[in-house]
Amino acid sequence: KVASAFSRAYDESFTLTYVSGLSVGIGAYLARLGCRVVQRQDASIILTGAAALNKLLGHEVYASHHELGGPRVHTRSGLSQLVVADDKEGLARMLGWLEYVPAFVPPRNEARSLPDSPRAPSDAAARAQHDRAELASSAGLLLRLLG
């Protein structure tokens, strides 16, 4: 259920995944479904662990989770778009990415109606702008706390 909900979220809104540690199984799968991934340089994204794969293969092929799913692997595969050194940089880069996201985008299947005046924002657009300002304010507080 989580995977199908996340997949729908990608279709209906902006999704962004931050991987700050070991992400195994469903967590790795969800990162892939979201399609926009920021990965900390010491984090790994793997479906199964190195020990399990080595056991399956009958001998040691993989030395670590990082070898299987570290940033070097996932930037080349296209899974991770950004690699960051720490959580502070990760938050800052995600906030930078969010600056490019429109405050409000109507769902694709919703009929689009024009406002009475081209300068009069809709209630939904005004709410979205307020939500975005609130997010930026909260993120700024987090950056100050981390700094």
What CATH architecture does domain 1-85 belong to? Answer: Alpha-Beta Complex (3.90)
Paired strand residues for 83:
39
Taking only the tens place, the pLDDT of each residue in 6-54 is 888 888 888 899 999 999 999 999 998 888 999 999 999 999 999 999 9
Which comes out higher in pLDDT, residue 113 or 16?
Answer: 16
Parse the chain into domains and list their residue ranges. 1-85, 102-147
pTM to 2 decimals? 0.69
**How many residues does this entry show for the chain?**
147
pLDDT one-digit tens code per residue, 51-101: 999 999 999 999 999 999 999 999 999 999 999 999 999 999 999 988 888
Cβ(57)–Cβ(31) below 8 Å: no
pLDDT of 8 reads 84
Mean pLDDT of the chain: 81
